[in-house]
Structure 1
Amino acid sequence: MKKAMMLTTALIATGFAASAQELNVVSWGGAYTVSQVEAYHKPFTEMTGIKVNSIDADNPATPLKAQVEAGNVSIDLADIELSDAIRLCDEGLLEEIDPAMLPAAPDGTPAADDFVPGAIQDCAVANIVWATVVAYDASKFPDNPPSTLADFFDTEKFPGKRGLLKAAKRSLEMALVADGVPGSEVYEVLGTEEGVARALAKLDTIKDSVVWWEAGAQPPQLLADGEVVMTTGYNGRIFNAMIAENKPFNIIWDGAYMDYDLWAIPKGAPHLEDAKKFLAFSTDTQRLADQAKYISYGPARKSSSALVGLYQDGKTEMAPHMPTNPDNLINPIWTDPTFWADHDVELSEKFNAWLAN
């Protein structure tokens, strides 16, 4: 088995070198893209000679869809959310992925058995498990800090502005959990007219105190600038502010919204074969573990967990900061991509109508 794997690796490396060119890879920017550049892009270029151009977007699914529909594709790979991966695949806008192209775990476990459930889709492969969480400025609440998602909506006990994602997805689910719905029952409730009304009614309670954000870099900046005292945000962005920038922020894990990000290749990608090679390389066991050195997102492969060590500062243990750490799974909301693939347009229209009133 080991000899076969070594031979396969050697053949792949030879193939890489023979087709050296460039790849355009679109992701979300900030600390997250830095983690990908360090863990994926640089070693891939060193191994293959293929230059990786990193391009930032507020939501990489948007330019991907636009390019494919226009028949003018310059993107080779994009990092997209799970619901977008399913929807775009259903629309025929993505290349299908054969799981057999993905490298096995170090012990020989096939990739299909090594990735966490739901991480391998028909047209995409996950690299991280991430969470939308509530973060707060600890200096604003020295004596009685908030500890639950319900506290985020309690502006009497915890006065101050709130940062909230300007989108139906995540905002509606977190509102329901704050209103007492268990994370495991959120989609059952949100699938009813009464459930949508309940979520919007909960959001009404803080609407006048909300500063809306749309890009991942905004929540930690809103906290740092004192524009808000609490905000929802991506756990990796908040971690970066806390550890790398020494900001006095804390994370509330109660009701965290758990999701995947996945690599997808658009139909008509200009460098299809090299894009597949990059996808396979960047989702192997070691590369996913290496990414955790730069940001606190959980690797999508089981075999990567044991290899997760210290942050790049050489002293911060990363495991306690992972959204998949058992201590952090406090009434989590696990995203339901099928629900959002079916209801995204409808709920976004209702959310935007509420927002406009």
Structure 2
Amino acid sequence: MKRTLVLSTALGLLALPALADVNLLSWGGAYGNSHLEAYAKPFEAETGIKVVISDADNPATPIKAMVEAGNVTTDVASVEYADAVRLCDEGLLETIDASILAPVDDGTAAADDFIEGAVTECFVGTDVYSMVLAYDDSKFPDAKPASPADFFDTAKFPGKRTMRKGAKFNLELALMADGVPAAEVYDVLGTPEGVDRAFAKLDSIKNDVIWWEAGAQPPQLLADGEVTMAFAFNGRIFNAAQGDGKPFKIVWDGQIYEMEGWVVPKGAPNLEEALKFITFSTSPAPQARAAEFISYGPPRKSAAALVGNIEGTEVPMGPNLPTTEANMTNALGSNLDFWVDHDAELNERFNSWLAG
């Protein structure tokens, strides 16, 4: 939608070009709300450029479809790291010049402030999230689940589980549950025997799993009592526990962390405004502000010290972030190169396994 500002002057009416909207594709839920409050509203207040937010279960899917169809309606999208690399390799994204990113107040260049890998040819990181194990504390009054192995132990910890429908994250978790240390997971998964081992472990709870596809589903399944344990995005579980008062607990042992960030679809209708939005929203202060709404860690080093309390409370957010040191014990960083190379074949096998 275009808007035209008309000014009356001594020479008559002068029409000035309007500022275009930035059409943002996000994930919805608590995560989408963090984009609205920390990025979109302040950006609009500072620049006068309106940000129109739409949601998708996984924005990478419609981005690929709209670019290939030559009908691009999105200017900026939030996608997972591996999806950004894949879309970029396929020529479906605009390149982003890292020189547009805002420096730290002390003059430190943005390139030196982002954690390793957070800025690539087509991607700028906004947050570090993780897939974590979570459980309904009211269902386990005595012994508490504390590890990936416990998630797979339906005898000691009875009840249905919910897991994301796909190979990624689940195969890694299965190997850790089977005794593979986090540091060795991708070495093992890179062999046929390792893949067989992961699927064999998944087989052990296959009949006890409800598969989810949208991030909002796991906390809802927990809340409805359909499952007692979940493998889900940490921010979704945090929001249900902190915001809605649900008796959900996170198990940080075995967390699998990854980055999300901004990409610009090839042929974005409002490219200039999109890049302005990226510059603004990936500055240290907005990134720290976003972390106060949802428990995802900022990928800019200078932003970590700026993160305050959980929004609307006097409770520090720091202990709830995946990147907090205490939460990184036995944490596994999702291997970008592995999934770029093997995503298609392992998802094909996963779908066949699921249907079998």
Q: Which residue is equivalent to 1:165?
A: 164
In 1, Cα distance between equivalents of 2:59 and 2:183 = 28
Residue 156 of structure 2 aligns to a residue whose secondary structure is: coil
Mapped contact 1:19–1:274 kept (Cα < 8 A): no
Structure 1 length-normalised TM: 0.94
Q: Which residue is equivalent to 1:254?
A: 253
- Tell me which structure has the larger Cα radius of gyration: 2
Residue 106 of structure 1 aligns to a residue whose secondary structure is: coil
Q: Which residue is equivalent to 2:333?
A: 334
Structure 2 length-normalised TM: 0.94
In 2, Cα distance between equivalents of 1:20 and 1:43 = 16
Mapped contact 1:138–1:249 kept (Cα < 8 A): yes
179-188 or 283-292: which moved more? 179-188
Q: Which residue is equivalent to 1:5?
A: none
The AA in structure 1 aligned to 2:174 is A
Deviation at 1:18, TM superposition (A): 7.2
> Which structure 2 residue ranges, 5 or more long, are not aligned?
1-15
In 1, Cα distance between equivalents of 2:146 and 2:178 = 15
Aligned length: 341
1:115 aligns with 2:114: yes
RMSD across aligned C-alpha pairs, in angstroms? 1.0
318-327 or 176-185: which moved more? 176-185
How do 1:43-62 and structure 2 match up within 5 A?
Answer: 43-62=42-61
CA shift digits 1:109-150 (9 cap, x unpaired): 100000011100110100000000000000000111111111
CA shift digits 1:191-228 (9 cap, x unpaired): 11111100000000100100110110001001000000
In 1, Cα distance between equivalents of 2:52 and 2:140 = 43
Deviation at 1:277, TM superposition (A): 0.4
Q: Which residue is equivalent to 1:6?
A: none
1:175 aligns with 2:174: yes
In 1, Cα distance between equivalents of 2:139 and 2:312 = 27
4+ residue runs over 2 A deviation = none
Mapped contact 1:127–1:262 kept (Cα < 8 A): yes
How do 1:102-251 and structure 2 match up within 5 A?
Answer: 102-251=101-250
Residue 298 of structure 1 aligns to a residue whose secondary structure is: coil
In 2, Cα distance between equivalents of 1:44 and 1:19 = 16
In 2, Cα distance between equivalents of 1:87 and 1:245 = 36
In 2, Cα distance between equivalents of 1:330 and 1:346 = 30
Identical counterparts, % of pairs? 58
333-342 or 55-64: which moved more? 333-342
Mapped contact 1:20–1:48 kept (Cα < 8 A): no
Q: 1:108 to 1:239 in 2, by over 3 A?
A: same
In 2, Cα distance between equivalents of 1:117 and 1:23 = 28
Deviation at 1:19, TM superposition (A): 5.4
Deviation at 1:98, TM superposition (A): 1.1
Q: 1:266 to 1:351 in 2, by over 3 A?
A: same
1:313 aligns with 2:312: yes
In 1, Cα distance between equivalents of 2:343 and 2:240 = 31
Q: Which residue is equivalent to 2:93?
A: 94
CA shift digits 1:171-205 (9 cap, x unpaired): 11111111111112111111111111000000001
124-133 or 307-316: which moved more? 307-316
In 2, Cα distance between equivalents of 1:37 and 1:18 = 26
Q: Which residue is equivalent to 2:8?
A: none
Q: Which residue is equivalent to 1:12?
A: none
The AA in structure 2 aligned to 1:337 is L
Residue 196 of structure 2 aligns to a residue whose secondary structure is: helix
Q: Which residue is equivalent to 1:73?
A: 72
How do 1:267-346 and structure 2 match up within 5 A?
Answer: 267-346=266-345
Q: Which residue is equivalent to 2:9?
A: none
The AA in structure 1 aligned to 2:161 is R
CA shift digits 1:47-95 (9 cap, x unpaired): 1111111110000000000011111100101000010011111111111
Deviation at 1:314, TM superposition (A): 2.3
Deviation at 1:313, TM superposition (A): 2.1
In 1, Cα distance between equivalents of 2:213 and 2:180 = 25
CA shift digits 1:319-348 (9 cap, x unpaired): 000000011012111011111111110000
Deviation at 1:242, TM superposition (A): 0.7
